[in-house]
Structure 1
Amino acid sequence: MTEPQTATRTPDHLAELPDILGGDERFRSILDRLVTLSERDYYDPFKLFRWPDRIDEDGYWMSPELLTVHGTEAGSRLTTEQLKALSKWESVNFYSLNVHGIRELLSELVARIHTPPFAVASEYFHHIIGEENDHMWFFATFCLRYAGKVYPDRSMAFAAPSVPEADTFLLFARLLIFEELVDVFNRRMGDDERLDPTVRKINKVHHQDESRHIAFGRQIVALLHKDLRQRLGAAQLRELETYLKRYMRNSVEGLCNPAAFRDAGIPEPYAVRRAVLADPGFDDFTQRVLKRSTSHMTGEGIFSDERIPRV
């Protein structure tokens, strides 16, 4: 779920962005509303959360239907006790991926805040940066308190399309995909009564903030792609679509961490991961957790269809 690292470029077309962003009245109106909502819903995470001494090891730490083995042959061979153990470590992996993804998001926003192309969005950037810093703190705190570690970032790098004009679009598209995927888990776990109240709370709080970030991301991604459709050829637009779909699949595969299988006491963790990723059930899982993103991207004309092929 943390985004792959790609070479940093300074696109020549950045000077055109003020006309794209600042010139859109609907975008400016949405930004004003999001700033108002962020101010209304502000909270102090250091006072909001009261961390219990422990999370019940005999219960689920993640909704069973969100485990990467759900619906696979490998998953059908696991006992209930193994699934509960795996739910602990896949939840820790999920929060760890959030920590790494948020760190990347923050670095990208800080690099752009109060620069001319992003002047119209800079006030809201301040709110996103503050909220995401809070999110990184409570996800990392959960991992360190109840698992003793944050899993390291093991994301695989792959080359970005050779379309310099699309760099800014791809950045915000990746961030939007990251946030929408995370939010699928947050919404489900925030309301799952099988989970510990602390688990439900961190997911529910994160969802409340991310709903605003996603609204922002959808608007800026749509505006940037609309501009690209006027300036790029069909082959280049298909290249962008292929890249983003590879990123989507890579993000979901990041949820399936052999270290989580190992920590759950499941033998041959790398072999289990290979079996899970090759299973048609995992393809179904991928399509299901990405459905919100693929539907939106297709509806906006960014994707030609909703299919996510294997990487």
Structure 2
Amino acid sequence: MTTTAPVWDEEVAAAVTRLTAAAENEYYNPYQTFDWPDSIPDGALWMSQELITVHGTEAAAELTHEQYLALSKWESINFYSLNVHGIRELMQEVVRRIHAPGYEIPTPFFHHFLGEENEHMWFFAEFCLRYGGKLFPDRSMAFPGERQSPMLDNFTVFSRILIFEQIVDHFNSRMAADTALPETIRAINRVHHQDESRHIAFGAQLVRALWERLLDAGDEQEITGARRYIEKYIAASVNQLYSVDAYRDAGIPDPFGFRARVMADPARRTAHEAIASRTNAFYRRIGVLLP
């Protein structure tokens, strides 16, 4: 009889040992880490220019300088709000599995993962509330899949976590290094990037092992469903970066129409490839996405 409990190999066990030790050695107190100035300087960019959704588009020429700066602010607020909502969702999934049968090997790292993600959620929300006065609402749509076995459900859950973290880290690593940004913005991105490097390494090992388990089970319908799910989820994750709320708060008329035009601009295809390049490369390497 085939078991549906996860089966972890030596690579997963080694990653748990290594990354748990790293989390303990690199622990910091986030509540004492950041200097929170009273405000972000007027006229400052809040997001790296190449990461703003109008970058390279014809629509960018329609914006005044003031609207462009406002858009960088509100897209920054949108990005951190997405982090808050995404972290909340992924923590719920990990909590369901911590110390559950079949998760004895990854559970030691789950504890560090949950602690660090809770702290990330705090400092992203703190930034939004201090400097934006609000969090943007969670506008992600339910992402229904086909009826899934527990095996496929585990694969899609940890894939959602990994995809979320890889896309976020694309932004974190660039904003942490961007000297055009205020230090407060660079700092929260820098700290998050440092922690996420461990989380991504851990998640990649889990997803790889779960994919190999699906292949071993040999259910072609589930394998095809997994591939289709990953393609759709990557696209949906990128699309969340285009926020009607951010366009509206930046003073852009017809924010829904503006969003549609920006997303349809051919220049955004290159941007999407860059944002998802690490994710696409990983899923091609393990054989989920086909060349």
TM-score, with length taken from structure 2 = 0.96
The residue that corresponds to 1:28 in the other structure is: 13
| Aligned-partner Cα distance in 2 for 1:136–1:242 | 30
Percent of pairs with identical residues: 48
Q: Is 1:187 aligned with 2:147?
A: no
Tell me: CA distance 1:57–1:234, structure 2 relative to 1, closer, same or farther (3 Å).
Answer: farther
User: Equivalent residue for 2:282?
Assistant: 296
CA-CA distance at 1:196 after TM superposition = 0.3
Cα distance in 2, alignment partners of residues 276 and 232 from structure 1: 42
Which one of the candidate residues 75, 98, 107 is aligned to 1:122? 107
Question: 1:153 maps to what in 2?
Answer: 138
Answer with 154-163 or 174-183: which moved more.
154-163
Give, in angstroms, the shift of residue 26 of structure 1. 2.1
Which of these residues, 93, 98, 102, is aligned with residue 108 of structure 1? 93
Partner residue of 2:249 out of 243, 260, 263? 263
Q: Are 1:162 and 2:147 counterparts? A: yes
Mean Cα displacement is larger for which, 141-150 or 153-162?
153-162
SS in 2 for 1:149: coil
Contact 1:257/1:273 (CA < 8 Å) preserved in 2? yes
Gaps of 5+ in 1: 1-11, 306-311
Write out aligned runs for 1:30-45 (5 A). 30-45=15-30
1:89-238 pair list within 5 angstroms? 89-164=74-149, 165-238=151-224
If the length of structure 1 is used for normalisation, what is the TM-score?
0.90
Check the 8 A contact 2:11/2:205 in 1, yes or no.
Answer: no
1:150 and 1:177 mapped to 2: Cα distance? 22
Name structure 2 gaps, 5 residues minimum: none
| Structure 2 residue matching 1:171: 3-state secondary structure | helix
Give the counterpart letter for 2:198 in structure 1.
R
Provide the C-alpha distance between the structure 2 equivalents of 1:13 and 1:174, rounded to a whole number of angstroms.
23
Q: CA deviation at 1:285?
A: 1.5
In the alignment, is the contact (CA less than 8 A) between 2:90 and 2:161 conserved in 1? yes
Structure 1 range deviating more: 210-219 or 279-288: 279-288
Matches within 5 A, 1:237-252: 237-252=223-238
1:176 partner amino acid: L
How far 1:162 sits from its partner (Å)?
3.0
1:280 to 220, 243, 266: 266
Of 28, 38, 61, which residue of structure 1 is paired with 2:46?
A: 61
User: Which residue identity is paired with 2:81?
Assistant: S
What does the per-residue CA deviation read over 1:194-244, in whole Å, with 9 as the maximum and x for residues that have no partner? 000000000000000000000000000000001101223445323211211
Q: List per-residue Cα deviations over 1:94-148 (Å, max 9, x = no partner).
A: 0000000000111111111111111111111000000000000000000000010
User: Following the alignment from structure 2 to structure 1, what is the Cα–Cα distance between the partners of residues 288 and 117?
Assistant: 26
Letter of the 2:98 counterpart: I
Q: 2:56 and 2:208 mapped to 1: Cα distance? A: 34
Q: CA deviation at 1:35?
A: 0.6
- C-alpha RMSD over aligned residues: 1.3
- Cα offsets for 1:162-201 (capped at 9, x unmatched): 3423010000011100000000000000010000000000
| Distance (Å, rounded) in 2 between the aligned partners of 1:107 and 1:174 | 12
Q: Is the 8 A contact 2:152 2:222 kept in 1?
A: no
SS at match of 1:184: helix
**C-alpha distance in structure 2 between counterparts of 1:30 and 1:258, whole Å:** 40
